Structure 1
Amino acid sequence: MSVVSLVLTVVAMVQILSTEEKHIRNLPRIAWLLLVLFVPLAGSLAWFFAGRPPAAGRVARSQGAGSQFPEYDRPGRAAAANPEKDAEFLRRVRARAEEQRRRYEEQKRREQQEPPEPGSPPAV
């Protein structure tokens, strides 16, 4: 076994043992271990090309990103892209909430003034 083959085998074994089972592709962990042990050079190359997780997954796990929704981890996602539109949106939301509150209070006032019809269920 050459030095390159030995290094590839050792690196592959360390990666196989340190990768979470759910992130290993194509074969179960034990199959990858046996493949690398019995056919070191071919097994190691197979692991690097077909078994280990994609590069993006390795980077996210190494940085400690625990979210399964990458858009939540995007830097600056909470910042307003256009403050003028954001202020306009908030103004419309407040106006709509105020209108709903006014209609609700009017409805409650009408219900209190009108006697209930006979046979209708009591208001809650």
Structure 2
Amino acid sequence: MARYLPIIIVALLMIYCVVEVAQAQPYAVRRMPRWLWATVVICVPLVGALAWLFFGRPNAESLGTRKPRTPPRAPDDDVDFLRGL
């Protein structure tokens, strides 16, 4: 049973990545088009799946939902802090 475990893990990882590629929004996928990612994940199971997870998967920046960073404010600039004094 233990010798089949790596094969099962790779198969499950590949299935997970194929489903994730299919559900990803086309404009948010990074580096390559979705159809090419699906081909790579299916044809090269372990390497393709890991490449999708690290390089192709949509992130907050590619989705456009990244929140802009606001500089830290001093306590005397914070109205809520001053109201609580």
User: Shorter-chain-normalised TM-score: which range?
Assistant: 0.5 to 0.7
Provide the aligned length of Structure 1 versus Structure 2: 67
- SS of the aligned residue for 1:8 comes to helix
Q: Match of 1:41?
A: 46
Q: Decide which of 3, 7, 16 is 2:8's aligned counterpart.
A: 3
The 5 A counterparts of 1:76-115 are 81-82=78-79
Q: 2: CA distance between counterparts of 1:42 and 1:69?
A: 28
In 2 relative to 1, CA 68–11 (structure 1 residues): closer, same or farther, beyond 3 Å? closer
Deviation at 1:82, TM superposition (A): 2.0
Check 1:5–1:69 CA distance in 2 against 1; reply closer, same or farther (3 A cut): closer
Q: Structure 1 residues 15, 70: CA separation in 2 closer, same or farther (over 3 Å shift)? A: same
TM superposition shift of 1:69? 7.4
> Identity of paired residues, percent?
27
Q: Which amino acid aligns with 1:31?
A: L
TM-score by length of 1: 0.46
What does 1:49-64 align with in structure 2 at a 5 Å threshold? Answer: 49-54=54-59, 57=60
Specify which structure has the bigger relative contact order, considering alpha-carbon pairs within 8 angstroms and separated by 6 or more residues: 2
**Quick one: distance in 2 between partners of 1:69 and 1:50?**
18
Query: Does 2:75 align with 1:70?
Result: no
1:15 counterpart = 2:20: yes
Query: By how many angstroms is 1:81 displaced?
Result: 2.8
With normalisation by structure 2, the TM-score equals 0.65
Stretches of structure 1 lacking an aligned partner (at least 5 in a row):
62-66, 72-79, 86-124
Given residue 48 of structure 1, which amino acid in structure 2 is its aligned partner?
Answer: L
Give the partner amino acid of 2:78.
A
Gapped regions of structure 2 (runs ≥ 5):
1-5, 69-76
